[in-house]
Structures are given as C-alpha cells and as structure tokens.
Structure 1
Amino acid sequence: MFSRRRLLRLLLILIGLPLLYVAGAIGLAMLTDYQPAPTEAVAWTGGTADTPPDTLRFLTWNLGYGGLGYGADFFYDGGETVRMPRDSVAAYVAGSRSTLAQLEPKPDFLLLQEVDRASRRSYQTDMTEGLTEALPAFGQAFATNYDVTYIPIPLLNPMGGVLSGLLTMSPYRPDTAVRHAFAGNYAWPTGLFFLDRCFLAIRYARSDGDLLVINTHNSAFDDGSLRATQMEQLAGALRQAYAEGMYVIVGGDWNQTPPGFAGVPGLPAPDWAVDGRFQVPAAYPDTGWQWVFDPTVPTNRHLVAAFDPDTTPRNVIDFFLVSPNVEPLSVRGVDLGFRHSDHQPVQMEVALRP
C-alpha cells in the first residue's frame, strides 16, 4: 500500500509534469519567437522580365497545407484530427499541384495561402518545391506567416513545428516583392503559438501606372477585432497605392464573407455567414473599388468532420478586390468537391483601364 508521503509525491508528479511541459513549451516559444519587421523585402526567384499585359488572369487558393482534403477534420475547428495519415497528405499535395499544373489557359498570377515548407502536420513537405517543378515557367515569392518551433497542443498528440506562409507565383518577374506584417495578435502566451499574419505585395513598373498585386490571408478564430484592425491597415495601404496612380488587385483568404452574402443557395452554411457577423464592408476601402466573387460556388468548408456534400456547412471567404481603374471581366469558383483542400480555387480575369 502507498504511504501518504508516496501518494503525495505521486500527486505532485502528476500535477507537476503537465505544468513543466507547458512552461517548457512557452519558454521555447519565447526563445524562438518569430518577430518579423513591419515590412520586409522577400526574394523573387524565376520568371521572366516581361511586363504583364493589360488583360490579366488570376487564381487564388488556400491549399490547406496539404493536410485538409475531403477526408479531413481538424481538432481546432471542433474535429479530432491533428494531422492526416502520410498517404492522405501526399495525395492532397499531389492533387493541388496537378490541378494548378493542368489549368488552361494558365493564370498570370497564382495567389496561394497555407503553403507549408517544413511542418510536422504535412510530414516536412516543402510544397514550394513541387509547385516549382509543376510550373517551371513561373517565378515565386514566399512570405512566412507561421513559424513556430513547437506547438504543444493537443497534449497527447501535439502539432509540433510549423513553417508555412503565402506564395505568389507568376511568369512575370516583379520589380519588388514585400512582406507587410499585419498589426495585432492574440494575447500572451497564446500569440506565441499562432500565425503572424501578413500580406505579400508585388509591384511592376509601368509607364501608365504601376501594377500592385497583393496576396492576403486574414485572421480567423478571433472575435472579429483582429480582422477589423487588419482591414483598416490594409485599407490605408490600398488608398495610398491608388492615390499614387497604381492599378491594385488583392486576392486571398479573407476569413470574412463578401458584402451582402448570406450563403450559397441550396447549401448548408455556418451561422456567422448567414447573419453577416464577419462580412467585409461594401465600400472598401473607398467608393469605386469592387469586390469580385462567385456567390454560387463555395470556397471553404467546416472541418468538424470529413466532407459530406449533403451536410457539411460551406461558405465563400476567398475572393478578390480591385481598384477603380481595374475592370473585372469574369470570375468563377472552381468546384473540386473539396478534394484536395478545405478551400476551393477562384479564378478572375480583369482589364487594366488607364
């Protein structure tokens, strides 16, 4: 039988080990915390020196880090899974890569989010390498927005390390590529383990006004205050660019719905999409700018369980914004049945109007 002293010692160990684990994880995160500057130039590799034409094709797609295809659920969204089996991740990564490689006509710009480079959740797959091989004519710039050495949750099956970010690809080599850090984050210590959100801006010099292409991935899992702060910051950058005579095109995962959107007709939708709780402003950043989206094809699904076409709530949170001197010619959501990611691609064609 245990003596009282031994029982007390056992209880202290049972209580102390989890506390030591958490304290160690926080200490490691503080020592290795990714702290980017407000603006940072990022390298552009590949592509040509040609100037983009006046009519341009875009595609935006959150690749779900290669781990959130049709069979996935996710613990942080109410599911149970931390990472999918290795063969599933390999299939999702190969599927998204093949989809992009087979697009015809090819987009002039690919704006991709949740692109992993070295993460436990995707078995250390560098997705940028596969995309470079699949699209050899395209150059690219990568902006880190998730760099955490060790995420300690869930306790019995932790996420571990994550290195991920935004990837913009194009055959056209820009004059500059700059990572812009979004201000604000979760309170300490939660913020140590969450994304450092940003947008990636590439700029092309033109005789009639520069072209600015922005890839964005705004916050999720907050009460809306972080998203509002980020939208205000982005609005300032957009107004300044347009005032300088630029053509401005923004695409990405906004984690908000378009103006007036109340769900895809005939499909189940989350409550916050129906009631407009997280909806971008209509006249943003000013009157004359246009939101460009396809309300008939969902771009995102819930991850409480594997995808079920009859019951899974779906939403539109991936779309574009263009300045008044850019004319949208077409937009189309690409319905892939969420086979390779919890998001679906959106294609847009525009014309620059001097």
Structure 2
Amino acid sequence: MIAEKSAMIDAGGIPMKKFIKIILGIVIAIIVVFGGYLIYLFASYDRLPDNLTLKPHNQHNEVLETNKTYRAMSHNIGYGAYPPSYSFFMDGGKYSRAYDKKTVEENMQGIVNTTKDVAPTLAFYQEVDQSGDRSQHVDEVAWLKEHLPTYNSLYGQNYDSSYLFYPFTDPIGQAKSGLVTLSHAEITSSKRYSLPIETNFNKFFDLDRAFTVSRIPVKGNHELIAINTHLSAFTKDRSVQAAQLKKIFDVMETEYQKGNYVMVAGDYNHDVLGNSPEVFNTSKKRETWTHPFPKDQLPAGFHLPNGNLAEEKIPSARALNEPYKKGHTYTTLIDGFLLSDNIQVKDLHVKDMAFQYSDHNPVYLDFSLK
C-alpha cells in the first residue's frame, strides 16, 4: 500500500511515470519549436546583391549649379515609432513596437512638417520602413513621397528581416526598411552597395546594412554624388564598423578623383564631435554606437564639418533606455555629413525638435559647389 502511494504524486494524483512523460513531452516540444524556428531564421535569411542598380523616380529635371547656395538635411526617422515617451528594449527600455498606427502616422506627419520647415534641396532619411510589425505596417516610403510631392525620390532597401521572435512577450516581428533620398534636382542614376556585417548569429540582431549612391548633374559636366547611409549600431565587433567605413571611403575617393562633388549624409553611429560626452555633460560610459568618428582615416580631400555644433550643444540622437528627459537622458551627436573639399560649407546646425517625432533630431547643412 505504501509503495503504491509512493508511485503517485499529491497534485491531482497523477502517476509519477505519467507526470515524467508529460514534462518530457513539453521539453521535447519546446526543443522542436525552437529548433524549427532557428531553421526558419537561417533558411529565410537573404541579403540583396551588392552593386545593385536602383530606379529613381523623377518629377522634374532641375540641374544644380556652382556658386549657388543649397541646403541638405539628414534625419534618422526611427521608423516613426519613437515619441519622447518611448523606450526601446534593445537599449534596455520597455517596448519593441510602436504604440499603435496612429502614433506612427502622427510622427510621420511631424517629420514631413519638419522637412517643409527646413526646406532642403536634398533630404536624406534613414530607418524608413516600407512594411513592418514594429511600425504598425505604415508604408513610410510611400508616405514621404506622397506628402512631399515636389521632390524626386529614391528608395534603397537596407533589409527585409525574417520574423524576429524577441522579446518573447512582444516580438519585434518582421520589417522591410531602408534609406530614402529626396532631391529637387534630377537623380539620373543610383546604386545600392551592401556593407560588411557580422556573419555570426548577431546578423539577426543588427540586420543588414547598405548605402545608396545617387548621381545628380551639375552644370559644367560634373556630378554631385549623394550618398545616404546608416551604419551598424549594436555590433560589438568594431572591425565591422571599420570595414563599413572603408567601403564608403573607397567609393568617395573614386568619385572625387573623377572631379565630382561628393556628399555623404547619414547616421554613422559614431560620435562626430569626438567629445560628445563632454559637450553634453554626461558621465555615462560610451555606448557601442558612440565611439569617436575616425576623422584621421578619411580619404585626402574630405572632411567632417562640425561648425558651431559643439557650442550650440544640440544633440542629434538620444539613448532609448528610458523616456526622454532633457538633461538626464544620454544624448550625443552621431549624424551629419562627410564632404569633399570642393563643397563649401555655409552653415551647419542640428534642428532642436526635442526628439518629438524620432529618437534623432535632423541635421541640416547650407552649402555651395565650388
């Protein structure tokens, strides 16, 4: 009788052997599901080919001129998901997706209004979702084209990710996202170049990277080479970031040697001031995306203009570990322009939007072609 009782467990009187089988079945099911998901991730992973020709959409064929002032703007729009109250799980925050579709649409309209206020000749946007669970499936590429109809446009895909089932309680899901370049001048041709990325499992976290190269005619038989990019943020392998920069530098140098004007705009995930923690009075350690930009490695004939940005003390990006609190949240300056020295800088500013529509403020540049 005692032996018979010992073969039972108190909770519900389930026989011990049956209980073990149930637990074992659950464990096997978890392993099968997890293994199947890993197979899905690797089987569905795909990168676009390098040196891919893109098709610009031109409304008009204006040509740029020398010795005339133009304006360029660069803005990482954070796929329309980041109002000041937002924090992001990969930064140690709370959320993985935009609150709702209305929030994304409000942020996108704010970004459009900001663009109209800045009134750039050239606008470079990063983290623009064509489709994504994280951005509530708002087509932001179409949104920019529709609400800024006076611009010629180009879209270059960064990545088309598999469904990412993390965090487990609210997965970030699938996203198709990239780079949008708008121009009042004609874009005659464009290409997308793949950037080096980590090839281990981290490629599913930092996703694919690329840069687009747009050719814009300048009177006098030359071209402005307008490059739009967004470098890796969460990789801890700094050699990957170095390789990404080198590939862009090589294209810059080749085009400059042809006599062209070269402008690179984007989110470099590098401190473009070099001393942003000091400028923005933060004692926090540098994040992986805030190492100083290696200005000494720029090709001959290029520079990274800073103007009075250090004196103005307006950051271009904030950390997403918490809702934005001015004077408390970690801020830095990681967005800007790389220019060939045949482009003259007239003015350079960060527009202080207090991170109202994105985790980035736009940077804008007044320039002329010599």
Same fold (TM over 0.5): yes
Match of 1:49 among 61, 72, 93: 61
Match of 1:64 among 59, 78, 84: 78
State the shift of 1:277 in Å. Answer: 6.8
- The alignment status of 1:153 with 2:170, answered yes or no, reads no
Using the TM superposition, name which of 232-241 and 333-342 deviates more.
Answer: 232-241
| 1:325 corresponds to | 342
| 1:251 corresponds to | 265
| 1:128 corresponds to | 141
The whole-number CA distance in structure 2 between the counterparts of 1:276 and 1:5 is 53
Q: What letter is aligned with 2:19?
A: L
Identity of aligned residues (%): 25
| 1:82 corresponds to | 96
Segments of 4+ moved more than 4 angstroms = none
State the shift of 1:292 in Å. Answer: 2.1
Deviations 1:266-324 (A, max 9, x none): 54364217x99711122342344221232321011011111111310100000111012
SS of alignment partner, residue 24 of structure 1? helix
| Aligned residues between the structures | 349
Using the TM superposition, name which of 256-265 and 43-52 deviates more.
Answer: 256-265
| 2:112 corresponds to | 97
| 1:232 corresponds to | 246
The whole-number CA distance in structure 2 between the counterparts of 1:194 and 1:277 is 16
The whole-number CA distance in structure 2 between the counterparts of 1:129 and 1:75 is 27
Match of 2:24 among 12, 17, 28: 12
SS of alignment partner, residue 311 of structure 1? coil
The whole-number CA distance in structure 2 between the counterparts of 1:16 and 1:160 is 25
| 2:255 corresponds to | 241
Deviations 1:135-171 (A, max 9, x none): 1111211111121131111122211111111111112
Match of 1:33 among 32, 37, 45: 45
The whole-number CA distance in structure 2 between the counterparts of 1:300 and 1:25 is 34
- The alignment status of 1:344 with 2:361, answered yes or no, reads yes
SS of alignment partner, residue 127 of structure 2? strand
Match of 2:351 among 330, 334, 354: 334
1:269–1:314 CA contact under 8 A, matched in 2: no
- The alignment status of 1:182 with 2:199, answered yes or no, reads no
2:198–2:240 CA contact under 8 A, matched in 1: yes
1:146–1:194 CA contact under 8 A, matched in 2: no
Give unpaired runs (5+ residues) of structure 1. Answer: none
**Change in 2 beyond 3 A, CA 1:91/1:277:** closer
- The alignment status of 1:309 with 2:323, answered yes or no, reads no
Using the TM superposition, name which of 259-268 and 54-63 deviates more.
Answer: 259-268
1:248–1:322 CA contact under 8 A, matched in 2: yes
Using the TM superposition, name which of 165-174 and 336-345 deviates more.
Answer: 165-174
Q: What letter is aligned with 1:98?
A: N
The whole-number CA distance in structure 2 between the counterparts of 1:141 and 1:264 is 37
| 1:2 corresponds to | 14
SS of alignment partner, residue 159 of structure 1? coil
| 1:203 corresponds to | 215
Deviations 1:19-64 (A, max 9, x none): 3333232222333323211110112113311212333210000000
Give unpaired runs (5+ residues) of structure 2. Answer: 1-12
| 2:180 corresponds to | 167
Q: What letter is aligned with 1:89?
A: V
1:61–1:252 CA contact under 8 A, matched in 2: yes
SS of alignment partner, residue 328 of structure 2? coil
2:104–2:138 CA contact under 8 A, matched in 1: no
1:267–1:314 CA contact under 8 A, matched in 2: no
SS of alignment partner, residue 258 of structure 1? coil
Q: What letter is aligned with 2:114?
A: T
1:239–1:285 CA contact under 8 A, matched in 2: no
State the shift of 1:134 in Å. Answer: 1.6
State the shift of 1:339 in Å. Answer: 0.7
Using the TM superposition, name which of 234-243 and 88-97 deviates more.
Answer: 88-97
Q: Superposition RMSD on alpha carbons, in Å?
A: 2.1
| 1:119 corresponds to | 132
**Change in 2 beyond 3 A, CA 1:310/1:280:** closer
State the shift of 1:186 in Å. Answer: 4.1
Using structure 1 for the length normalisation, give the TM-score.
0.92
Q: What letter is aligned with 2:58?
A: G
